[in-house]
Structures are given as C-alpha cells and as structure tokens.
Structure 1
Amino acid sequence: MQLLLEDLGHHVVNLGPCISQDEIVESCCKYQPDLLVVSSVNGHGFHDAEHLVRALRTRWELAGLPAVVGGKLGVRGAEGQDGHRRRLLAAGFDAVFHDEQGLGPFEAFVTALATDRTPPAPAGPREGAAR
C-alpha cells in the first residue's frame, strides 16, 4: 500500500502493523494526513477497524479526515462482505475495499480524492485589464 501511494505521488507515514487504536488516532492528530488507510491481512480487520473509526470520529480535529479500510476484513470470504461494508461505512469510513476487488477501486478513490483537494489554478490576467 505504501509503495502504491508513493507511486501516486503521496507522502506516506507508515505506522506499521499491530498499532493500537489510540496510537493511530493520536498520530492522525499529530500529522494531519490527507487520508487514513487501514489495511488488514489477517481476517480480523472488521472488528478492529469498526472500533478505530468510531474513536477517530469522536475527535473534532479529525472530523473531515477521509478514512478507508481494505484487505481481508473477515474470515468467511465473500459471505458477510456486504454486512461488513455497511457497518464500516455506518461507523464512519468513507470507503471499504475488499481484497477480492484488487487495487483498482482503491487507486481510483485515491486519485479522485487528490483531484478534489487540488486547489484551482490562479486566474491569469483578464483580457483588457491594466498591468
């Protein structure tokens, strides 16, 4: 994930695996990232992510922080994915990506997010304006 985000032109602060919920929330307050990406590979990501995003959304300074989660979120494969997705979105995530989808939808989300945050170019001098 880090390499993909860096290839897309983003600076990444990788907190590493098995980081506590409190440390993630405090790091977001400290670094003020443009996006929080939570990735799970062990099949237990759903429960941890749900608690994390609820804690994140209690902090006023992180209210507008886009947050996404993806990877192996459960141990039942495709069964339960829709339920996981609905609950994680209701808890406060902006997007949920399951490992079976591949990286395409995630990459499209990140690209769209960067486009939405790009400030408009300053207007040039108007025709006929004094210089």
Structure 2
Amino acid sequence: MRLRSAIVSSVASDSHTWNLVFLHLLLEEIGFEVANLGASVPDDTLLSECTQLEPDLVVISSVNGHGYHDGIRVVRQLRSQPSLVNTPMVIGGKLGICGDLSPAEASSLIEAGFDAVFDDSSELASFTSFVCELPIRAAS
C-alpha cells in the first residue's frame, strides 16, 4: 500500500518556515509522504510541483497575514489545472493582517477553491480530523 502524499507550502509573500516544518512532521505522523516546498514559494513553482506530483492533499500555510489574498490567487491557479480539480486543498495560519478572518472572508477562500480554512482561531484537532477523514485514492 502506498502512502498518501501531501504538498506543504507557504505563499509567495511569506518567508516563515517553522509552521511548514511543524505541518510536515504532523502529516508524516498521520501517514503522509510529504513534499515540503518551503517558504516564499512562487505561484508558478507551486503550480508546477502540484501538477507534477499530483498529491492527495495540498496544504498552504501562512503566518505573515497575507495568506488570504495570496491564497485566493494561488488556489484559482491550482484549480484551473484539470489534474488538480478534485485534489483536497486547505489553507491555514494567520491569514489576515487584522486578526481572525470574518465568516465572509473564510467563505471567499472556499468559493475560490479551498476545501477547508483553518485560521489562527482553529484548533489543531480540526485540521487533523479533516486530514484523517480524507478518502484514500486508488493507486494509479
């Protein structure tokens, strides 16, 4: 049986790495093989890696407060690729510069293409439950 795969990445404007290392280790503990793209990932690099690797999950994390705007932009690009249309994609962290996202902002991220939003007010258990409940894709 193959391990499920995940891509963990920051957005282009975010140079933080500790959040990515934490998520990488957490996903490995859950049973994922993780490709950690690191910090300040250009949109085209994220797009290229996702289309090449075709992961079972894409996790975008940001702690600089610009994840909301960067996330909307990048998820639309990812969802425009036929091979990524059904790939679960989540975003989390400090997504806005004014604190927690409003319900309307969280809805905008979902409408743009994310399957779930985990901002600073979210419990880690919510993220791990979401990830553990993902269906396992058949090997291609």
TM-score range normalised by the length of the shorter chain: 0.7 to 0.9
- Structure 1 residue aligned with 2:75, among 49, 53, 71? 53
Match of 1:25 among 44, 47, 52: 47
Amino acid in the other structure paired with 2:136: R
Match of 1:109 in 2: 130
Length-normalised TM-score, structure 1: 0.84
- Residue aligning to 2:108: 87
Letter matched to residue 122 of structure 2: Q
| Cα-to-partner distance string for 1:38-95 (whole Å, 9 max, x where unaligned) | 00111110000000000011111111111000000001113x4312211000001000
**Structure 1 runs of 4+ off > 2 angstroms?**
none
CA 1:87–1:27: 2 relative to 1, 3 Å: same
Which of the residues 26, 40, 63 maps onto 1:4?
26
Structure 1 residue 118: Cα displacement: 6.3
Superposition deviation, residue 117 in structure 1: 1.5
Aligned to 2:63: 41
CA distance in 2, matches of 1:31, 1:49: 20
Larger radius of gyration: 1
CA RMSD in angstroms, aligned pairs only: 1.2
Q: Share of identical aligned residues, percent? A: 44
Paired with 2:114 and 2:137, the residues of 1 have a C-alpha distance of 22
**Partner Cα separation in structure 2 for residue 96 and residue 24 of structure 1:** 19
Task: Tell me the SS of whatever aligns to 1:38.
Answer: strand
Q: Which residue of 1 aligns with 2:97?
A: 75
Contiguous gaps of at least 5 residues in structure 1: 120-131
Distance 1:106 1:33 in 2: 17
The answer on 1:96 being equivalent to 2:117 is yes
Alignment-mate amino acid for residue 98 of structure 1: D
Between Structure 1 and Structure 2, which shows a larger proportion of helix residues?
A: 1
Q: How many Å separate the matches in 1 of 2:50 and 2:77?
A: 12
- Structure 2 SS opposite 1:7: helix
Aligned residues: 116
Could you tell me how far apart the structure 2 residues matched to 1:92 and 1:100 are?
21
TM-score under structure 2 normalisation? 0.79
